Structure formats: structure tokens, C-alpha cells
Structure 1
């Protein structure tokens, strides 16, 4: 049986890249690959020290080479895209040169101001295929002379409904509490101040799911401490339960490579307030009806009298364009075109 490997900084965790990587792993297994995972952190099959975020020296080249020696197809999730460990990216690129590999790109450096000076990523090799998660990034790759394929993130669009009572009991909130969930890590681009302001304006309880990263701990503590609304800062697993428990999803990010929560909100029939980051506008072209942070009067009116037609429309769009079946078909087409089907 052909063996495939998912390679990244960390895997099996709750961050967005880990979630997408887990879905790709499952789909590649369904297609016929025997899958293994390779990373420096998380629940992985092959731990390779030095692959992790902000590790100064990178992995031992021989150790990484051994970890992928029996691999027929490597899928590199963002490690050769965002410069969080350039020595690791260089080692991975050198080791995989001339071998079948999909470089799955979520965050190229030029899309972040603090990484704009980095020009060596992404690496390229004629043997590889590049996959990006939006048209905007595909156009930017083309401007840099790299051909790529757009495969939007996929979701279990037909999964079971969540348990509202169970999750609200876990959070310690009553059924009549207006609960606004912000299902993100706490980092600057997620725009925590705007999310809190939305909850304050709507007189809702603000529920932040993720922990602080990128040195945001002190800022977050101050923001939550000064919030003029009830605050819950309790990470839980990303399941339908979080959407069942919430009355509203807030997602006022200033930048996202994709942004899973608005699509998840559509799947599980929750209204969503979405910031005007570029890829959100691209996704909205499919027909999603989201609310603007600048039009909270419309949100309040919806909460008072829900528009079931809006929820029906959003769910139908998610099921048509963002299902796991659609991602699987796109992957099969990519593998077939490269001659890599098992």
C-alpha cells in the first residue's frame, strides 16, 4: 500500500491547520494511502524535534529524512509557507526535492506584515504540487511564478446537531443567556477588542474559546478584565456543541487565510458577524449572508425574530461548496493529474 505523510510544526491539536490536516489525513486514507503524521508537537505518529514553531535550529536532517524515508507522498501543511521555523522549512524542502509532495499553503509570508521581508518561502520544485485555500493566494502565487490549485477548506456538513444543554451546563450559563461565541485563538489579527464590543453592544455574554498566543497574554488579560459584559474564557473541543450552545458567532478578524467559523456557523445554523477581511469577501461571493460589525441593529433584529430563510440559505451553500465530498473530489483530481493515485 502507498504510504502518505502529513508533515507540519504541530498536529492533532485544535488550531485551524491541525483541523484541516486531520481532515486531509482521513480523506487520503479513504483514497487508499496508509497515513502517518510527522511533527514536533501533538498526537503524532513520528515526533521529530526541531520541526516546531520558533525552534531556532530546525530538525536534524538525518532524523527528518528517516521519518519520511518510506513515504510515497508527503503533504506539508504550512511548514514551508509561514516562516515560523525557517531552518525546518529548508530541511523539509531539501529532503523532499524531486519527490512527490503537496505543499498545502495557509499563510504565505507576504500576507503578514511581520513576515513581509521573508522572500525564500514558499520553496518550489518541479516534482511538487502547490495547493492554496483561496483564489487571492493563487493569484499571488502566480505573480511569483508558481502555479497552484485552489482547494477550499472542507467540513462535515451533514454531521449531527450539537447538544445545547450539555455545553451550556458545562459553561455555567442559563438557557436564556444571550451567548456570543468567538471560536478563535487569542492573537492580534482575531480582533478581540471588536468581538468584545459586539457582545457589549448586544448585552451578550462573550465566550472566547482559544488561549493567548504570540505574546498576547497580557493584552488579553487587560481586555477581558475591562470588558463591560460577562466573559467566559474557556477552551473546549471544536464540536457542533459550541454552535448549539451559542446564539451568535462573532468573527471580526482583520485577516484570515480562510476563516472556518463563518462556514461552521452556516452548517450549524447560527448567525455570524464577520469582519471585512479579503478572503471573507471572496467566500461571501458564494452567497453567504453574514452580518457586518457596523450593522449591529440588523443583528439585534435577527436575534429578536430569526430569519430562517437566511439560515437555510447559508446551510445550503455550505453543503454545496464546502463539504468533505467536494474536497475529496478535488484531491482525487489533483492526485490523478500528477499520477499519484495509489
Structure 2
């Protein structure tokens, strides 16, 4: 049965993780024969989007509500005045959503994070009321929950707690729930008695990132030689990414550089005394304090570090006579990918490294340990135990680090083992985390909604 589906979030057509996952869901749902309409507060680079202005991620009115609901009640006379504004906006969202449901004959609405965080209280209330007043069925796709964020832990008013308990997420016979990992599934049931289905983040494993005419000069553009080793950190620069663990790996590899000198690498390049081990950071800096800590840590350890984010975007382009590479160009040229996060909801850059067919240095953050480790990927493993130093940065035990770098050196110097490892990882990923795997899951889930 073909359905008219509304795919909803605060924003679409952007490069945030939720928007990118929604793009994949839209592709698959349309492949399955359904009609899909985006519903959001902003359209990004897309044109065909149903807009509800109050959903905008940076809506001024909602920003004021968030400040007064979770930080300090100061812009409103009292809690009743705050509640009135929240419910007025909720009514407006409800009316607009009902109009879209009627106009587009929506059968199923898939709501991303609107019922999850409590970021936009009015949206959660408005969406719930619209769904319960119509005959539409709903799937809540939860990427995060309010109890996972410090921001939402101490509301200024008791009624905010009531809202979080009632709507984030809500219980209703026509509302089903999807989470992205098993920890979230267990926690949702423990806290709210709500059952859910795990649908992991996925990627298109049929893409091929190779060195071509456009990116052939990538290394030269950043002063990197063909026989240098590039260790890529593709994540955003925020503290939970644990980038300091990757720096420790690079420092230990540098300390044992002589084990590489005079030998052919996995890619047939001869590593010489002049060859360097380059730590390449491609992601956006979203935490200046942490960024400075990382840069200082790298310099103390004499690590050659390059931050190239101003030359990296989601797509290739020429901007102000400056050549912009895609993130996939960085993957094509790197030798090793570090994914040493301390906390993640899933692991998008891990999947990207699988697609790129690169050796991965990984840390077993909780979701990795529960959901990814059982898939039996072969990585350079930093274990699941870390401590925090006086400077606030994390470290793993020295014996774990030493063993990991031993394994890394073996892979760098053994072409057959390198290729076999990345190929096997790719095949496991394709079977479990590809668009095809998502298609099978979504077909079952949507069929159950009919």
C-alpha cells in the first residue's frame, strides 16, 4: 500500500546529522513507492518543503522560551505567563500541521527529535495534539533524549517537568518509537515504559571515494608528500570526540618512527627519514576551549597537526578563488582514520571510514561497545577504559596504547593485511549499515503501520 508520509524535523536540507539521515530515509521510502513530504521550520538547500515557521531551530521566540524554561525565568512575569506563550505557540503549530496533514492527505508522520529533547516545547505539544486530533499514524525517530543532556536537567518551573514527562516522548496507541541504539532503547523502556525499535544510522556503501583529477593536488595543497602518512580526524571538534586519544596514538607512532623508516608502506610508498606523520583535522571547531587544548597538546607532543576545515565542505566548490574539497576527498587521501570518541549516539564517521576502506583507530564508547563491537569489525582498538588527567583530557592505559600502535604499525607495513582488513570491514558494514539494510528495516516498520 502506497502511503503519503510527512518527514518532520526542525530543519532539513542542511549538513547536521539528523538532516542527513532524513535525506537517506526519504530516498528509501520513495524507493519503496511512498510519497514523502518534508515538514520543517527551515528548508536549507531544498525547495519542496512544507514550512511551519515556529519549528525553525533558531526561532527567536523559542530561544527565549528555552532560556526561561531551562536556565532562568526572567523574561516573563511568572511561570503562568511562560506557560501561556508556550501553549499559544503550540496551538499555532497544531493548526498549521493539521492543515498540512489535510492538504497533503498524510497517512503517516515520521517525527525526528521533536518529541525527544524538549528543545521546542511548543512543537512537542502542538504535534501531539495534531496527531491525536487527526487519524494520522506517527513514528517518532529519536536521535537524542532530554535526559541525556545537562541543559534539560533542571527546569525553572514544575510544569516544564510535566511537559517533559508527558510529551518527550509521548505515549499513544498510534505513536510508535524508533531509536538509534540499544542503550537508548533500554533507557526509554526503563524511564517511560515505552517499547522501541532500533534503526542504526546508515550510509551509501555504493559510493566510491578515489583520487581523481579534482583532488589529485589535495596533499600538495596542504604541504603533504605522497610518502607522508595522513591520520584523519573527520569529526567536529568537541570534547566528547576524545581527539586527545588520537593524538596519543600519533605521538606513540612518532616515537617509533624508525620502525617505518626505509620500509615500503601498504600503498607501496617508501617511508624515509624525511617522511612525516600528519594529523589532519577536517571538522568544524565548535568548542574554542577544547580546540586550544588539542592544539597545545599536539604541539607539546611535537605532532605535525593541520586543521583544514576552511578548505572542506560537504561538496566540492570554488569559493573566492579558493579551491574547496569535499570531506570525501580527505578520506580518499588519508591512510588511517581515528574515531576515538568518548560518547556518541551512533558513529557516522566510523561508517564513513568503512566506506572509504581505511584502517580505523577506535575507542569503545558505550554505544560502540553495545551496538558496533558485536558486528566484529577489525579495528586498532584502544579498549573501553579511560581516565581524565588534571588538564581535563582523557587518556587510555599506556599498555593499551602501546599494543594498539604495535597493531597499527603491522597494518601500515603489510599491504595484504591492510587490504584484507579494510575489505572485510567494508563487507560487514555493507551488510548491516547500508541503505539496503535500512530499506529492509523501513519496509517492515512502515508495513506494520498500515
Which TM class, normalised by the smaller chain length?
0.7 to 0.9
2:305 paired with 1:230: yes
Distance 2:329 2:242 in 1: 24
Distance in 2 of aligned mates of 1:108 and 1:225: 34
Instruction: Decide whether aligned partners of structure 1 residues 162 and 122 sit closer, same or farther in structure 2, where only a CA change above 3 A counts.
Output: farther
Q: Identify the range of structure 1 (94-103 vs 57-66) with the bigger mean alpha-carbon deviation.
A: 57-66
- Aligned residue pair count: 337
- Shift, 1:27, TM fit: 0.7
On the 8 A contact 1:133/1:258 being kept in 2, the answer is yes
Which structure 2 residue ranges, 5 or more long, are not aligned? 63-88, 155-160, 255-276, 315-325, 383-400
Where does residue 231 of structure 2 map in the other structure?
Answer: 180
- Preserved contact between residue 143 and residue 345 of structure 2 (Cα < 8 Å): yes
Query: Larger deviation: 131-140 or 249-258?
Result: 131-140
1:15–1:185 Cα contact (<8 Å) kept: no
Larger Rg: 2
Aligned-partner Cα distance in 2 for 1:14–1:224? 25
**1:1-342 pair list within 5 angstroms:** 2-41=3-42, 42-44=44-46, 45-53=49-57, 55=59, 57-58=61-62, 60-61=92-93, 62-69=95-102, 70=104, 71-97=106-132, 99-116=136-153, 119-120=164-165, 121-143=168-190, 144-163=192-211, 166-167=214-215, 169-170=217-218, 172=221, 173-203=224-254, 204-213=277-286, 216-221=287-292, 223-224=294-295, 227-228=298-299, 229-234=304-309, 235-237=312-314, 240-281=328-369, 282-293=371-382, 294=401, 295-306=404-415, 307=417, 308-339=419-450
How many angstroms does 1:39 deviate by?
2.0
Where 2:380 maps in the other structure, the secondary structure is coil
Distance 1:17 1:162, change over 3 A: farther
Q: Which region of structure 1 is more displaced relative to structure 2, 134-143 or 189-198?
A: 189-198
Which is helix-richer, 1 or 2? 2
Deviation at 1:169, TM superposition (A): 2.3
TM-score by length of 2: 0.68
